[in-house]
Structure 1
Amino acid sequence: MAATSETAENYKAISAAEFFYKYKEIAGFANPARALYQTIRELVENALDATDAHGILPNIKVTIEKADQIHEYYKITVEDNGIGIPPHIVPEAFGRVLFSSKYVLRQTRGMFGLGVKVAVLYGQMTTGRPVEIITSQPGLRRIYYYKLRIDINKNQPIILERGSWRKNRDWHGTIVSLTIEGDWSRARFRVKDYILRTAVVTPYANIVFMTPEGEIYYYKRAIDKLPSPPKQVKPHPYGVDLELLKRIRETGKYATLYDLLIKSFQSVGDVTARTLISQAGLDPSIDPMKISDKDLLKLVNTMKKYDKYRPPTAQALSPLGPDIIKAGLTRIYEPEFVEATTRKPSAYQGHPFIVEAGIAYGGKVPMSPSDKPNLLRYANKIPLLYDEGSDVITAVIKEDINWDNYLVHLPAPIIVLVHICSTKVPFKGVGKESIADVPEIRKEIKLAISEVARKLRNHLSKKIREEEKKKKIVNLAKYIPEVARALSIIIGEDGLDYNTILDKLAEITATRTGIPKNEVEKVIKNVEIGT
């Protein structure tokens, strides 16, 4: 058998843009239907991050238009009233893969800075049409326009057109238009469901959505309260590794190892820093740049084993809060019962996280399947629509909660909402649709759901008692008209008449049962007419 050999010409480096051009499926662009959904998702999430994270009540408009009479091309336009993008940043923000403002330790809807750029690449591949951006920032007097492509080989923007004009109104925000190949007939349900689920967790937003058929969905703002914005924080020492420590050393100016630990990590003060350095057998006054990789690794292992840190700060997180969750569920489903809770911050592997849960029951809530309640999953305020079966939230709902204990007998008109926010959500893949089964997170999900489920049980228990009272009054009311007639006959003409006796008996029954008199009278009236 002849041996094969690789020559130097067979080896080459490719850019990040070329990688995602070739492997677009990794970012969720596996087929025209999924690509249409993914593009809308990326643009909407950028629009929301540009508004609510900066204290602006969002006004979001999403439009999908058929862009070609022959091919399945769709023009997707998303407009927001956010802080806009600095004009000199626009080309890089839309034309360079892995260029983003999200590479900091702070909760954001996106994590990788990929989404919109891969959508731009997908548009180039399938329709050949560039992305168009209109943007302006608060305080600026001009509006800026760009038309861009991505140079796949160099991973840099190609500016086809640019321009600016003076504002004739006080507008700020961003409008992005992309034309891609899509399959609206297959994507329709997912896209509509995504917009609805986004509306559930953003009751503080006005959202307008227009379909290719001209259907308009309008979700009117139901609450003026915004979630507290996240703040950028330092890494926690539990999450340190050798490469992170080397990057911190090389990107900062630290006179001593002691300074590096104090200034670069949260939960590390004077005593902790000296303890860590001592346990690692290092000199606190040494120049960090002179420490060998071997000694740095000793310090990393020491930092990971130390067990007296304060927990990671939750300042980097932006939970929704019970008021917003309840307002969102009420806006969409108008339930007879709604409750929500936000758990205290916890941590896994040095990353803070918060679990929130809400329950809506009755009203316009659809009936659930027979094996579990209807489920709304969210991570960092993003609806998760795909891969539900492999998600830890689904596992908790089906395996860890006995719904009969909460008087919920499935199928039932019930929806459970679970939101996980973290600086690092443990997604199972780059598509970010399924959350891994991390024990710390699973425990918090169960506790959050159990807390709101207990309140639902109290509501249902009270409802059952009221229904039992109504049954009693119905049974009693069956005899009241007959008793009233008999008493009126016995008393005779000089006594109380039938209607007066009936009224007295209704009053006594209401007092004894605790049911309002008007309800008793309704039952008596139904008995009299034979219903």
Structure 2
Amino acid sequence: MSETPVEKYRAISPAEFFYKYREIAGFSNPARAIYQTVRELVENALDATDAHGIMPDIKISIRKVDEIQEFYRITVEDNGIGIPPDVVPDAFGRVLFSSKYVLRQTRGMYGLGVKMAVLYGQMTTGRPVEVITSKPGFKRIYYFKLRIDVNRNEPVIIERGSWRKNREWHGTIVSITIEGDWGRAKPKIKEYLFKTAIVTPYANIVALTPDDEIIYYPRIIDKIPRPPLEVKPHPHGVDLELLKQIISSHNYTSVEELLIKGFQSIGEATAKSILQQAGIDPGKPVSELSDNELLSLVNTLKSMKDIRAPSIKAISPLGSDVIIAGLKRVFQPEFVYAVSRRPQAYQGHPFIVEAGIAYGGKTPMSDDDKPIILRYANKIPLLYDEGSDVTTMVVKEDISWDHYMVSFPAPIAILVHVCSTKIPFKGVGKESIADVPEVRKEIKLVLMDVLRELKKYLSKKAKEEELKKRAEHLAKYIPEVARGLSVIVANGSKDFEVKLVQKLVSIISRRTGIPVPEIQQVLESIRIGA
């Protein structure tokens, strides 16, 4: 009789989980890995600068470091706020440890990105990550070389040191060596930097590639979006676990104090009303709340209708000036327009949808069924999974393009940016936004806003072109009419004929709005043709 196999159980650390299932975070192959590493480091660099009111200076270097194997050393330097030296090991060596687990807009959100790059580097090259950093006002610069203990999800410091500053430098330099496929990754990395430059015209971005190519996007405006601020949770975004976390991380003496100090948009009167509906004594100690009372409190908070909308201080929209500057730089369009919608909320989180449109000029021709789509979430360009993104769904399903005088293909590009404290990404790869009804509605409305302005422009342009055709048609008869009238009225006087031509040109210009020089050019072409 055969023995029944015994199941073996064991727990694994977060680091080991993502080590085994790295595809989840975008490290599925060498080409995707090199792109993902550049992206994570650049986004961290931008968050360390513009999110703190600093004009970004970002330097990127991608160098092949092995003659035989496809090993690449990726280094990104920023001029940001730096990292406290005691935090560096965990920031780069502990998965799910992050400064981004706060309620404000950040480019990252999972605490995975850079650690996944470190893990991938360990797996493929065995080389550690190197970090150099210093904060403003610090007198020393700190250096770390470390790796991740996968089983324990802990940083292992291989080398550390520090030296005195000889200049007032602050920021962070991170170097990670990974196995990559530069040939296949190159187009995506260049596209990523190009699209990042569109929404960061206030940044200097320079990259040196393995081909010794320099990619440079200089700063073209000095206006930086308002940095986001950390805020308290909104009552509509609370659940049972979040409420327990808030209670355990603070020493609130009463339930009333918990509501007033632990949440935004709740004052004394609102707190009393909430607790009355939940059937809880305002003075009851937080530590004495039962599970049923906690659940009742959560349900009451979620159902409250007279609470102010979530604070928008936690989010940082680009603004129309930044969007227009970025679109002008890359497309040099004949028409450009941008708008930011009013703040909205979903699941207790504020969000703003913005859009820009570029038409004509050097804007490339679009596909046969849709415009060029530039998708962004919290200032991150989204390059993959376009077909499953909510913006693409709106563009293809919700917009009647004929109504706006647009037929494809056309020289048209649209930019859509969604910013929020909680972007509803479809996966941890952060490449597409889910079809959330509140977000979809706002994307549709913002596209309609910019398309209405495009329609006005195209309508005006069509009228001007029609008037120009009429003016050109009339101008063809000016010489003959002037000559005939000159014979009848002034015995063929050339002076009279010239004056009459000038008068007729002036009349046509006044009636059509076409400048006199343009009508005179038509006359000149008639004379040359004659």
TM-score (norm 1): 0.97
Q: Could you tell me whether the CA contact under 8 Å between 1:75 and 1:180 is conserved in 2?
A: yes
Which secondary structure does the structure 1 equivalent of 2:295 belong to? helix
Native 8 Å contact 1:36 1:184 kept in 2: yes
Counterpart CA distance in 2 for 1:275 and 1:109 is 37
Which residue does the alignment assign to 2:4?
4
Are the counterparts in 2 of residues 63 and 76 from structure 1 also a CA contact under 8 Å? yes
How far has the Cα of 1:253 moved from its partner?
A: 0.6
Give deviations 1:111-166, integer Å, cap 9, x for gaps: 01110011000001001111111112211222222111111112111122222222
Q: Are residues 344 and 493 of structure 1, via their aligned partners in 2, closer, same or farther at CA, if it must alter by over 3 Å? A: closer
CA contact (8 A) 2:486 2:493 kept: no
Name whichever of 330-339 and 507-516 sits farther off.
507-516
What is the aligned partner in structure 1 of residue 393 from structure 2?
395
1:278 aligns with 2:276: yes
Matched, 1:461 2:459: yes
Alignment-derived partner of residue 175 in structure 1: 173
Structure 2: how far apart are the matches of 1:3 and 1:434? 49
Aligned equivalents of 1:241, 1:170: Cα separation in 2: 46
The gaps in structure 1 that reach 5 residues or longer are none
Summarize the Cα distance change of 1:373–1:489 in structure 2 as closer, same or farther, 3 Å threshold.
Answer: same
CA distance in 1, matches of 2:389, 2:3: 46
Aligned equivalents of 1:426 and 1:211: distance in 2? 33
2:523 aligned residue: 524
Preserved contact between residue 250 and residue 289 of structure 1 (Cα < 8 Å):
no
Residue 495 of structure 1 deviates from its aligned partner by 5.7
Output one character per residue of 1:374-420: Cα deviation in whole Å (capped at 9) or x when no partner. Answer: 10000000001111101111111111111111111111111110000
1:500 Cα shift? Answer: 3.9
**For the residues of structure 2 that align with 1:44 and 1:13, how far apart are their CA atoms?**
33
Q: Could you tell me which of 132, 135, 138 is aligned with 1:134?
A: 132
Q: How far apart, CA to CA, are the structure 2 residues paired with 1:212 and 1:111?
A: 30
Inter-partner Cα distance in structure 2 for 1:493 and 1:118: 89
Shift in Å, 1:492: 3.4
Aligned 1:195-274 pairs, distance under 5 A: 195-274=193-272
> What amino acid is the match of 1:51?
T
Q: CA deviation at 1:493?
A: 5.8
Amino acid at match of 1:528: R
Q: What root-mean-square deviation, in Å, do the aligned CA atoms of Structure 1 and Structure 2 show? A: 1.5
Structure 2 residue corresponding to 1:369, chosen from 367, 370, 381 = 367
Structure 1 residues 164 and 208: CA distance shift in structure 2, 3 A: same
Deviation at 1:530, TM superposition (A): 2.2
What residue identity is the alignment partner of 2:4? T
* Match in the other structure for 1:342: 340
Question: What is aligned with 1:515?
Answer: 514
* Equivalent residue number for residue 95 of structure 1: 93
Q: Note the C-alpha offset of 1:445.
A: 0.7
Helix, strand or coil: the match of 1:192?
Answer: helix
Residue identity in the other structure for 2:82: G
How far has the Cα of 1:335 moved from its partner? Answer: 0.8
**Deviation string, structure 1 residues 416-461 (Cα, Å, up to 9, x no partner):** 1000011111111111111111111111111111111101111111
The aligned amino acid for 1:504 is K
Cα deviation digits, residues 189-239 of structure 1 (max 9, x gap): 111111000000001001112221111121111110011011111111111
Q: What one-letter code is carried by the residue in structure 2 that aligns with 1:164?
A: S
Please list every run of 5 or more consecutive structure 2 residues that lacks an aligned counterpart in the other structure.
Answer: none
Q: Partner of 2:354: helix, strand, or coil?
A: strand
Q: Distance in 1 between matches of 2:523 and 2:207?
A: 50
Q: Which residue of 2 aligns with 1:432?
A: 430
Q: How many residues align?
A: 529
Counting only pairs closer than 5 Å after superposition, residues 77-116 of structure 1 correspond to structure 2 as: 77-116=75-114
Query: Does the Cα contact within 8 Å between 2:505 and 2:520 map onto a contact in 1?
Result: yes
In the other structure, the counterpart of 1:482 is: 480
| Partner SS for 1:30 | coil
Distance apart, 1:494 and its partner CA = 4.9
1:293 matched to 2:291: yes
Q: 1:444 aligns with which of 442, 445, 448?
A: 442
2:191 counterpart residue number: 193
CA shift for structure 1 position 489 = 4.3
Amino acid of the residue matched to residue 526 of structure 2?
V
Question: What is the percent sequence identity of the aligned residues?
Answer: 66
Q: Is the 8 A contact 1:477 1:527 kept in 2?
A: no
User: Does the 8 A contact of 2:487 with 2:493 survive in 1?
Assistant: no
* Aligned-partner Cα distance in 2 for 1:360–1:332: 10
Report the alpha carbon displacement of residue 487 of structure 1 after superposing the two structures with TM: 3.8
Distance 1:352 1:231 in 2: 13
State the 1:488 CA deviation.
4.3
Aligned to 1:504: 503
With normalisation by structure 2, the TM-score equals 0.97
**Cα distance change on mapping 1:3 and 1:473 into 2, 3 Å:** farther
2:324 equivalent in structure 1: 326
Amino acid at match of 1:371: D
Cα distance in 1 between the residues matched to 2:365 and 2:335: 15
Q: Secondary structure at the match of 1:248?
A: helix
Q: Is the 8 A contact 1:355 1:445 kept in 2?
A: yes
Once structures 1 and 2 are overlaid, which stretch shifts more, 84-93 or 222-231? 84-93
Instruction: Measure, in 1, the Cα distance between the counterparts of 2:405 and 2:300.
Output: 50
Note the C-alpha offset of 1:317.
0.5
Once the two structures are TM-superposed, the CA of residue 168 in structure 1 deviates from its matched residue by 2.3
Distance 1:308 1:511 in 2: 59
Supply the distance in 2 between the matched residues of 1:91 and 1:21 (Cα, whole angstroms): 18
- Cα distance in 2, alignment partners of residues 528 and 125 from structure 1: 77
Summarize the alignment of residues 35-74 of structure 1 with structure 2, pairs less than 5 Å apart: 35-74=33-72
> How many angstroms does 1:81 deviate by?
1.0
CA distance in 2, matches of 1:101, 1:187: 29
Match of 1:315, SS state, is helix
